Amino acid sequence: MKRFSAMVLLIFLTFSAWAQTYSFGVLPQRSAVLTAQYWNPILDYVGRKSGVTLALATKRTSLEYSEAEARGEFDFVYNNHIFAPSHADASYRVIARMAGKPIHSQIVVPQASAVRSLRELEGREIGFPNKNGFTGYAAPMSALIRAGVPVTPVFGGNQEGVMAQLRAGRIPAAGVNSRVMQEYAAREDFKYRALWTSEPYLDLPVGAHPRVPMPVVKAVRQALTEMASNAEGSKILAASAAVIKQDPPWGFVAAEDAEYQNQREVYRTIWKTEAR
């Protein structure tokens, strides 16, 4: 009887794990509309293929999102802030990442700007998405500190928010994610150039919170990483890419925490420098 009861309990717990809805947190690099248009079709596909119901979750600004992520509010996440010291307690583990070439952090100016070097930015207001960003803050601010160029940070809410400020002439330069900048410039016909470009970094990872059962994590990872090789999945990826002007290759590849060690090191350095 005890053995039967244990089996019934195991079946119930397994069914509960698959039946519930899991939040999929996405860093709001772009507007809420573009974020939803890009991610909802992908999450719907992954949910159908994996049997796991996923619900898109984000916040109004990238800082609000980052703080919620640090508290472990999301089951799955798409973000590299998980490597910051402030996110250590949440213990998200990498399961996949965007396919394609590495990304870079950049400090950019409008093409017509008279500014030609980082030194010319000394003492000026420079735009960043938020203080927890990697390509948009930790990496470019570290470069400015190493160059001995003090600046006044101005935060734009998210990546495209600060790009819009740059385009409108409200700030002379901005710290950005090279890929997001390229996509924004293509959509908005904005000409820009980079004053500084970082070493290459792997694109943003998909991570899972430790509370998510491993069978659920494996099913989601498999659906993500096999999406590009599936006819329906490939079509959905292409349609989402068209929304933000994203260049191929599209889709996701398997990844793990150890591959992101260089990003952890940059985060540790800026946290120590700013005495956070």
Percent pLDDT > 90 in the chain is 93
Is the pLDDT confidence value at 214 over 80? yes
At residue 19, the pLDDT reads 65
* Domain 22-101+202-273 CATH assignment equals 3.40.190.10: yes
- The domain 105-197 is placed in CATH, from the list 3.40.50.360, 1.10.3720.10, 3.20.20.70, 3.40.190.10, at 3.40.190.10
Query: Any idea of the CA torsion for 43, 49, 52, 57, to the nearest 10 degrees?
Result: 0
Q: What is the mean pLDDT of residues 180-195?
A: 97
Is the pLDDT confidence value at 187 over 80? yes
Residue-wise pLDDT for 243-261, tens only, equals: 999 999 999 999 999 999 9
Query: Any idea of the CA torsion for 261, 263, 268, 274, to the nearest 10 degrees?
Result: 170
Q: How far apart are CA 41 and CA 9, in angstroms?
A: 34
At residue 17, the pLDDT reads 55
At residue 35, the pLDDT reads 96
Find the helix packing angle between 231-244 and 32-50, rounded to 10°: 170
Alpha-carbon separation of residue 11 from 5, 14, 45, 90 (angstroms): 10, 5, 26, 28
pLDDT band at 11 (very low <50, low <70, confident <90, very high): very low
Q: What is the mean pLDDT of residues 89-96?
A: 98
Q: Between 6 and 190, whose confidence is greater? A: 190
Where are the domain boundaries for CATH 3.40.190.10 in the chain?
Answer: 22-101+202-273, 105-197
